Every structure is written in structure tokens, then in C-alpha cells.
């Protein structure tokens, strides 16, 4: 059994750039995280932070951001359970929520990439520094800050960067490092005791010498992220040893408990994420003594980026989170680990709806919604719905040829409509149940977004088919009741 990950800090990542929970539910979740074994939160507010002044434009317009007193209540809830809080503020890449605004458009590295900041503009550096200051001012007890800096796409492609790179010996690596160092030193000036960390992916292709000579060492600690259930242990250990040889002995790990399967996944697979954590345990037990593992962040992505659709909602990911936290605490998914998860949540697998629905007195916050989403997703993924266009009646009597010729056997048309209506009615009934439960935990705009992204695209082909049938029947002079 491995001691280093068992004893180190375990931070649950709250990705609030999508489906931010209502404040009451968020407070309940924080209590649950503590019950499950977490001892910290990594909070990524993005547009849900109540920025002020020139930055007020960054606030979400689809729903109100958290109020300042709500940000305080989040911290109070965490600190009352002994949880540390590390704010995460992107400062280079993944700034879509900032650079999408026309007022900040000229700060993009290239115009068609909304995520990457132009590192040559003083206004851009001042912008991220102001973001950092406003967030940290509202988190006076936080002793650490995550400055993001992952996936800085298209860096070096902007005109100013191309000009900068024309200087012999200068590279994109140095361009990246110079901006991160500038940001880190700016933070250090105003908060010299603040511990800084960053995502590591942009460092992976650099030599230890490049990192060492840049001046980054001692300013920022790398957080290595890998969410794969088949994480390459040997290569990850080699990477961590390479960072150590560059002088970065204090390192963090980042795993995933949800939001990293596919961009549109609705139901979390506990086994997939368990496997990821078991691989991280192997990594931790293989490190040399010189690497000081500071902790692990269990990421729970709610979107892949600001403009993508919603991943699994938090209630659906809780059994996975509990299982992963307990696996880290026990050094494996032991019988004791499983017992703790079942005692707290009722199940280790959200797809076990029988266990979810059988819980009464101590059902976890959001269990009912999780159960309904699993059942609805199962219906949406049924062959009957997904492959309706391939059933005998559609394939035999309403092909593209029939639509072009505007002809259909009316009896068959009625058969198709009857079958489709049975499916649509069943889905709509479950959707209404999901809506009713979801609006208790999330804003109306989040509920509508989830339905529009995960339900509407699945039903649309069926609705289009029915409309086409109605059109053809009308062309044939057979007026029937319209089905929307």
C-alpha cells in the first residue's frame, strides 16, 4: 500500500463555469465532500465570480453570478469542516469567458482563438492581475492560488508573437514561460507568501534546462494532470522526475472523478475513474524520495471549455467521487473503502438505480436527480429510439425516395406515427420529472440548457421524420392531426 497519496491533501475541484449549483445545494455538497474524505476545494469560478469595475463584463448573463456574501458562505461552510480553499483563475489559455467579449477582443493572441491571451500586451497582463486580485481579496484565508495556464492553443501564431520569435534563439517555450513568470511575479509582489501552482501540460515538452534557466523554479509548482483509466505510470513517473531535475521538487497530481470521458457524457462511470486513481496510486508509490507530492486535485469538469456543452452534473458523479476519495484514503478500493461509500451514498455506482431509489432516510443530496438522469439516459440510448429511422416501416415505406416523390402508404404512416408517439410520450414524461427535480438544485437556465443539449438533439430526428410525414400526407390531400 502506498502512503504518499493516502496522507497527502485531497482537493475536490468545483468547476462552476457550467451548471453552477444553487447556493443551498452547493453548501450541502461541501458537507458531503468532507464526509467522503476530502480536505480541500479547488474552486474555478470563471464567470460565476462577482467581478467588479471594468471586470463586471465578465459576469455571467445567463444566470446571476454568486453574490459576494454567497462566496463568503461557501468559504464558511468549507472552513467549518476543515477544508482548505484554493481558487483557480485562468491567466493565459482557456480565457474564453474573458476574450469572447468585444471589449477584450484585441487581447486575443489570434482573433479566431477565443481562449488564448496575447502575452505581449500590457493590458492583458493587467487584466489577469486584476482578476487575480479581486478573487484573492474575497478569499483572505486562502494560502494557495492556481493560475491555470493549460492548453494555450495557437501561442506563437499572432503577429506580435511571430515578430518576437524572429529573434534568434527565442522559442514558443520561452514565450510561454515569460508570461507565466510575469504573472507569478506580479502575484508575488502583492502576496509574497501565497503558494502558486499551474497545470503542467505546456511544460511537458520542455527540457529541464529550459525550465531551470527561465526563472520559473521557486515561483510556481506544477500540477500534473492525467485523467485516463490507462494512465501510463512509467512515463508519468519519468515526467515528474524530469521536473524534479529542473528544480521543481514540489509537485501536485490531478485525477478525475467526472467530466473527462466524452464532451457529452451524461452518466459517470465509477470504474473508469477508479482505474484512473489506482494508476495515480502506482505513480505515487514509484516516485523517488526527492519529489515532494503536495496533494492531488480530483477534477470534476462541468464543461471541456467555456463554449462546450455540459458534462455530467455533480449528483451523477458523486458515487464516483466517493469511491475515488476512499480509494486514495485506503490505498485501493478495499472492502472498507466500499463500505464507507455505501454508508454515505447508498451505492458506489450511480447506474445502480435500484440502490439509489431504495434509500430513504439518508439519501444523499441530489440522489433523486441522479436516479432520474440515469433512467432517462437509458431511454435516450435505447436502440428503439436511436435507430428508429432504421425500423421496418420507415426503411420500407418512407425512404428519401418516398420523401422526394411525396408519397407514403397512409396506413403505414399511421403506424410510424403511433410508434413514434409512444416513444416521445415516454421521454417527455421522464423529462418533466427530471426538470422538476433539477430546478431544485440548479437555475432554470441550467435546466433548459441541459435539456436543449442532451435531450433535444436525440429527439430532433424523430420530430423531423414526423413533420416530413405530415407534409407528404398533406400533399396527398390527406389532412391528419399534426404532430409537432
Active site residues: 151
Bridge partner residues of 87 (DSSP): 43
- CA–CA separation, 301 and 109 (whole Å): 25
Question: Alpha helices of 349-407 — where are they, by DSSP H?
Answer: 353-358, 367-380, 383-386, 392-397, 400-405
- CA–CA separation, 348 and 342 (whole Å): 6
Are the beta carbons of 175 and 155 closer than 8 angstroms? yes
Helix, strand or coil, per DSSP, at residue 147: coil
Bridge partner residues of 21 (DSSP): 442
- CA–CA separation, 155 and 120 (whole Å): 11
The pairing of beta strand 250-258 with beta strand 292-300: parallel
Residue with cell 515538452: 205
Task: Spell out where 200-269 has E strands.
Answer: 221-225, 250-258
Q: How far is CA 366 from CA 32, 233, 247, 306, 363, in A?
A: 11, 35, 44, 24, 8
- CA–CA separation, 126 and 85 (whole Å): 24
C-alpha closest to that of 454 among 477, 434, 425: 434
* Cell numbers linked to 322: 466517493
Residue with cell 517555450: 173
CB atoms within 10 A of CB 262: 9
Are the beta carbons of 121 and 158 closer than 8 angstroms? no
Residues 6+ apart with CB under 8 A from 111: 105
C-alpha closest to that of 118 among 160, 147, 173: 160
DSSP string, 162-212: HHHHTSTT--HHHHHHHHHHHHHHHHHHH-TT-EEEEE-GGGTTS-HHHHH
- CA–CA separation, 455 and 138 (whole Å): 38
The pairing of beta strand 195-199 with beta strand 292-300: unpaired
* DSSP-derived secondary structure letter, 66: P
Helices (H) and strands (E) in the chain, counts: 20, 8
Amino acid at each position: 500500500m502506498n502512503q504518499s497519496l493516502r496522507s497527502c491533501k485531497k482537493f475536490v475541484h468545483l468547476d462552476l463555469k457550467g451548471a453552477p449549483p444553487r447556493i443551498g445545494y452547493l453548501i450541502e455538497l461541501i458537507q458531503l465532500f468532507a464526509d467522503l474524505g476530502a480536505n480541500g476545494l479547488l474552486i474555478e469560478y470563471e464567470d460565476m465570480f462577482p467581478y467588479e469595475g471594468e471586470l463586471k463584463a465578465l459576469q455571467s448573463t445567463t444566470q446571476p453570478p454568486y453574490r459576494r456574501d454567497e462566496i463568503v458562505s461557501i468559504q464558511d461552510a468549507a472552513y467549518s469542516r476543515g477544508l482548505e480553499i484554493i481558487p483557480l483563475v485562468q491567466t493565459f489559455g482557456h480565457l474564453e469567458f474573458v476574450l469572447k467579449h468585444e471589449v477584450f477582443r484585441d487581447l486575443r493572441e489570434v482573433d479566431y482563438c477565443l481562449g488564448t491571451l496575447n502575452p505581449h500586451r500590457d493590458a492583458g497582463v493587467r487584466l489577469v492581475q486584476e482578476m487575480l486580485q479581486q478573487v484573492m481579496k474575497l478569499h483572505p484565508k486562502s494560502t494557495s492560488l492556481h493560475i491555470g495556464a493549460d492548453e494555450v492553443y495557437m501561442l506563437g501564431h499572432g503577429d506580435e508573437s511571430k515578430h518576437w520569435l524572429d529573434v534568434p534563439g527565442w522559442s514558443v517555450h520561452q514565450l510561454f514561460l515569460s508570461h507565466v513568470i510575469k504573472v507569478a511575479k506580479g502575484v508575488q509582489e502583492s502576496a509574497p507568501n501565497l503558494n502558486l501552482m499551474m497545470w503542467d501540460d505546456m511544460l511537458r515538452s520542455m527540457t529541464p534546462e529550459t525550465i531551470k534557466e527561465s526563472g520559473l523554479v521557486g515561483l510556481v509548482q506544477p500540477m500534473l494532470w492525467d485523467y485516463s483509466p490507462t494512465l501510463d505510470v512509467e512515463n508519468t513517473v519519468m515526467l515528474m522526475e524530469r521536473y524534479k531535475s529542473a528544480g521543481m521538487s514540489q509537485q501536485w497530481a490531478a485525477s478525475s472523478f467526472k467530466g473527462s470521458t466524452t464532451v457529452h457524457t451524461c452518466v459517470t462511470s465509477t470504474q473508469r475513474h477508479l482505474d484512473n486513481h489506482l494508476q495515480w496510486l502506482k505513480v505515487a508509490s514509484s516516485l523517488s524520495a526527492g519529489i515532494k507530492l503536495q496533494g492531488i486535485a480530483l477534477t470534476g469538469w462541468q464543461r471541456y471549455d467555456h463554449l462546450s456543452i455540459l458534462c455530467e452534473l455533480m449528483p451523477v458523479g458523486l458515487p464516483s467521487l466517493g469511491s475515488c476519495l476512499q480509494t486514495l484514503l485506503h490505498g485501493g478500493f478495499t472492502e472498507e473503502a466500499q463500505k464507507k461509500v455505501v454508508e454515505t451514498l447508498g451505492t458506489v455506482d450511480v447506474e445502480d438505480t435500484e440502490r439509489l431509489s431504495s434509500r430513504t432516510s439518508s439519501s444523499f443530496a441530489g440522489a433523486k436527480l441522479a436516479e432520474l438522469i440515469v433512467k432517462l439516459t437509458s431511454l435516450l440510448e435505447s436502440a428503439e429510439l436511436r435507430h428508429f429511422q432504421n425500423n421496418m416501416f420507415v426503411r420500407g415505406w418512407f425512404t428519401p425516395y418516398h420523401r422526394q416523390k411525396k408519397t407514403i402508404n397512409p396506413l403505414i404512416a399511421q403506424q410510424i406515427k403511433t410508434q413514434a408517439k409512444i416513444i416521445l410520450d415516454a421521454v417527455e414524461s421522464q423529462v418533466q420529472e427530471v426538470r422538476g427535480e433539477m430546478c431544485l438544485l440548479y437555475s432554470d437556465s441550467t435546466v433548459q440548457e441541459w435539456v436543449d443539449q442532451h435531450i433535444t438533439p436525440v429527439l430532433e430526428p424523430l420530430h423531423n421524420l414526423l413533420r416530413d410525414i405530415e407534409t407528404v400526407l398533406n400533399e396527398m390531400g390527406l389532412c391528419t392531426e399534426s404532430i409537432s
